[in-house]
Amino acid sequence: MSSFKDFEKIADFLEEQSRVFPQNQREIALRRAISTIYYGVFWEVRERLRKRGYKIRERQPHYSAILKTLLTEFPEIYPLMEELKKWRELADYQSNWKPDLKKFYHVKYLAQLILEEENWEMQNTTLNVLEEIHQEVEILLKKHNIRWTNIEVWETSDGFLVEILSPDFKDHIPAIKTSKQLEEELKDPSVSLSILPAD
């Protein structure tokens, strides 16, 4: 797995090479360097969140999910990441924007602030994990057109229990069978599902 340092080395190489390029090529190299710093931070932040228990999966790597987590759990990092994203958008999309060394070093400074270890002190991730499980179960129920009146997620000694009240079931046996089927589809051994008939 690539780390931020790997991206930073590439960005520094691009910046160094830009000094001997003609003006138009120099700007292209600096744009790539700034964008590379952003993606290095993005990968590093994503991995740090995963290691701290946040469910950010490969099939859902989009920036908005990471930004939402930073906003709620790491508010001191959130505005820095927003600013870094704006610099990346300027570098990638704005043809009339002129990159230079000062802007490149500012982007590197932002990356340093975002990745400072003191900003990544362990947070209470339980609530975040419960919310993620709740959302995943909702998506699964919608996929199978199963209605619900309430979903509760509980942390247990060996994982998580999801209790679902559904008006689509009048008897416990079909509800238990469907619970097991959905558990298999969820593919998370730490999560147990229990569908209960809603009165």
CATH number at residue 163: 3.30.1340
CB 30 within 8 A of CB 104: yes
Range of the domain at 59: 4-120
pLDDT at 67: 86
CA distance 187 to 128: 19
62: Cα separation from own chain's centroid:
6
Question: What is the amino acid identity at position 112?
Answer: Q
Q: What is the 8-class DSSP label of residue 119?
A: G
One domain, residues 190 and 99: no
Examine the fold and report which residue of 102, 120, 138 is the final residue of a domain before the chain moves on: 120
pLDDT at 59: 54
pTM, two decimal places: 0.60
Q: Which residues of 55-73 are buried (b: 16+ CB within 10 A; e: fewer)?
A: bbeeeeeeeebbeebbeeb
Q: Which residues of the chain have pLDDT under 70?
A: 1, 57-63, 121-128, 199
Q: What is the 8-class DSSP label of residue 133?
A: H
Question: Which domain CATH number covers 116?
Answer: 1.20.120
One domain, residues 85 and 180: no
Both tokens assigned to 105:
């070093």
Question: In the Cβ-directed half-sphere of 27, how many Cα atoms lie within 13 Å?
Answer: 12
One domain, residues 10 and 75: yes
Instruction: List the 191-197 sheet strands across, edge first.
Output: 150-156, 159-166, 191-197
CB 192 within 8 A of CB 155: no
Residue of 33, 116, 41 lying closest to 81 (CA atoms): 41
pLDDT at 158: 76
One domain, residues 76 and 145: no
pLDDT at 148: 93
One domain, residues 14 and 112: yes
